[in-house]
Structure formats: structure tokens, C-alpha cells
Amino acid sequence: MVERVINISEFKKPNPRTLGIIVVLVIILIVGWSTFVIVPAGHRGVVLWWGSVEKRIMGEGLNFMVPLAERVIKVDVKVQPHPFRQIDASSKEYQNVKMTGMMNFHIDPAFVNDLYQKVGLDFADKVIDPAFNDFVKEVVPTYPIGEILPKREEIRKRAMTKLGENLERYHIIVDDIYFADIRFSTGYEGAIEAKQVAQQQVETQRQVLAQREIEAQQKVATAKGEAESILVVAQGQAKANDALSKSITPILVQYKGIEKWTGVLPQVSGGAVPFVDLSKMGGVPGGTEGSKK
């Protein structure tokens, strides 16, 4: 087999015209693609003309822009949460209070360019946190420490109103506010815990006393029932005894004696009196006349 040696000179040099066309096409594609920008759903585009904020705001989807001269900043206008850093405040009695919270907010889509121009995208650190800090330190001291937790909902509604009014000028709309945690000084929390324990113990003792009172009432009711039962039985027995005593007569007693007599007279010396006096029984002839016959 004969191997063919390839000479580099056999390759044709690219046509300069063709190369130029390719370069031009690539540039056109790059420039053409850079004239469009896609704004995602839930966002708005702030348009900068050589760094200056324009009044035009791009909506969602595909938008046209001037290459090189214009730049688009995409701003999220969906509802989003912002956690507040822990804030130290004081109650009405100058007791230490620590509060953390969460705020749901969104930016007015029609004024994203104004917010970007006046504040920038780091608006949370610049305006939201300071506004919440001021609110806490202004409102919390108006409440006694014992009312802060019971009036938590009232404070939350005041925070929504106050922050809403404060942030409205920046076109930041407050949707809701939550207090994640409210803490007090260690000494006060210990006192609250001790009070709760004492109240629980009092409640436990109250329940024990109530149970004992119920048991005592049950015993009284049982004893009363037993006494009434004994009284009823005694009254019945008394009536029976009375009826029985009225039914016993001398004749009945003698008759019962005759029923039990075996016919054998008692063996006694001397003139003994018979244990049954037949002369006293009705329907039996006198003893003397009967003996004569």
C-alpha cells in the first residue's frame, strides 16, 4: 500500500470575503440579541439610559432595548418576606424587652423606577429595618410589661398601620406583620415562671379540695341514706310489733300452750294447780261439774 503524504500547501486558504461575512453575521447576531431583554414573571424592568433612570418601566416578557445605551435592572414585585433583626426596647416600667418579627411586603409595580432611583435595591436595610426599629422603641414603652403579651395583637395592628404609613412614601406596601418572638429579662421571665408554677399548685390544691368536698358530700349522702333506711326499717318493725302485741290474748296464749302439750301431766306432790285452767276457756264445761259426771 502506498501511503499518500498530505502537503499542507494542498489546503486552500479561506476566502477573506467569506470570513468577513461570517464575522459580520456573528456581530449582527450579538447586537440583535442584545436589543431584547426578557423580564421574568413577577418582576418589572427599570431602564437605565447611560446610567440614568428612565420613566419607562418594562413589563413581564420580551422587551426591546437599545444596545449599549440601555441597561435593564429586574426588580421583584411579588409578595416577599423580610425578617426583622432583634430589637431591644423597654416597657413602661423600664423592663428590658426583646422583639423579633417578620413582615410581608411588595413593591408597587408602577413605581419601581422611583424606588430604585431614591433608595436602591438594598431598601430593606435602608428603610424597612429602621422604620420597624423606630416603631418598637416608640410604641412598646407605652405598655406596662404585663400587658405586652396579652395585647400582642393590638401592637401588631399598630405596627402595620405605622409602618404602612412610613413606607408608603417609598412605594413599599406592607401586607402583614408577625411578631416571631417577644422576650423579657431573665429575672422577669423567672418571676413569671415561678408565678405560673404557684398558680398551677394553687389550682391543683383547689381541685384536691373540691374532690374532697365531693367525697364528703357523697359520704354524708350515703350516711343519710343509710339512716333513713334504718329509720324506715325500725318504723316498720315497730308497726309489726305493735300489731303483734295487739293480736296476742290470754286465750291465744293458753291455746298455744295446749298445742304444745304432750298429754302428760307434770309429776308434782301436793295439790298442784294445772298449768291449763280449762274452766277459763270458752266452750269447755266447768271443771267441777265435769268431774262429777
pTM score of the predicted model:
0.57
The upper half-sphere exposure of residue 159, i.e. CA atoms within 13 Å in the direction of its Cβ, equals 29
Q: Are 130 and 103 part of one and the same domain?
A: yes
Q: Is residue 174 part of a domain?
A: yes
Residue-number span of the structural domain to which 137 is assigned: 80-190
Q: Are 24 and 111 part of one and the same domain?
A: no
Q: Are 66 and 98 part of one and the same domain?
A: no
Output b/e per residue, 136-173; b: 16+ Cβ within 10 A.
beeebeebebeebeeeeeebeebbbebbbebbeebbbe
Q: Are 101 and 177 part of one and the same domain?
A: yes
Domain termination residue (choose one: 75, 91, 112)? 75
What is the per-residue pLDDT across 7-20, written as a single tens digit (0 to 9) for each? 555 556 667 777 77
In percent, the amount of the chain with pLDDT more than 90 equals 34
Burial degree of 50 (CB within 10 A; 0-12, 13-18, 19+): exposed
Q: Which residues contact 90 (CB under 8 A, 6 or more apart)?
A: 96, 97, 140, 141
Q: Give the three cell numbers for residue 228.
A: 333513713
User: Which of the residue ranges 44-58, 145-159, 230-244 would you say has the lowest mean pLDDT?
Assistant: 230-244
Output b/e per residue, 37-46; b: 16+ Cβ within 10 A.
bebeeebbbb
- Residues found in the chain: 293
Question: Residue 116 — very low, low, confident or very high, per pLDDT cuts 50/70/90?
Answer: very high
Q: Is residue 152 part of a domain?
A: yes
* CB-CB contact of 116 with 46 (8 Å): yes
Q: Are 22 and 110 part of one and the same domain?
A: no
pLDDT of residue 94: 86
Q: What is the CA radius of gyration of the chain?
A: 57
Over residues 39-68, mean pLDDT:
93
Q: Are 90 and 170 part of one and the same domain?
A: yes
Q: Are 84 and 157 part of one and the same domain?
A: yes
Over residues 167-177, mean pLDDT:
95
Q: Is residue 280 part of a domain?
A: no
Q: Is residue 123 part of a domain?
A: yes
Selected residue with higher pLDDT from 178 and 227 = 178
Domain termination residue (choose one: 28, 60, 75)? 75
In percent, the amount of the chain with pLDDT more than 70 equals 68
What CATH number corresponds to the domain at position 95? 3.30.479.30
pLDDT of residue 289: 45
* CB-CB contact of 138 with 107 (8 Å): no
Q: Is residue 170 part of a domain?
A: yes
To the nearest whole number, what is the mean pLDDT of the chain?
79
Q: Is residue 270 part of a domain?
A: no
Residues 191, 146: Cα–Cα separation, whole Å = 12
Q: Are 148 and 114 part of one and the same domain?
A: yes
Question: Residue 109 — very low, low, confident or very high, per pLDDT cuts 50/70/90?
Answer: very high
**N-terminal to C-terminal alpha carbon distance within the chain:** 185
Phi, psi values for residue 203, rounded to 5°: -65, -40
What is the per-residue pLDDT across 249-289, written as a single tens digit (0 to 9) for each? 666 666 666 666 666 656 655 555 555 555 555 544 444 44
Q: Is residue 168 part of a domain?
A: yes
What is the per-residue pLDDT across 204-248, written as a single tens digit (0 to 9) for each? 777 777 887 888 888 777 877 777 778 777 777 777 667 666 666
Domain termination residue (choose one: 190, 206, 223)? 190
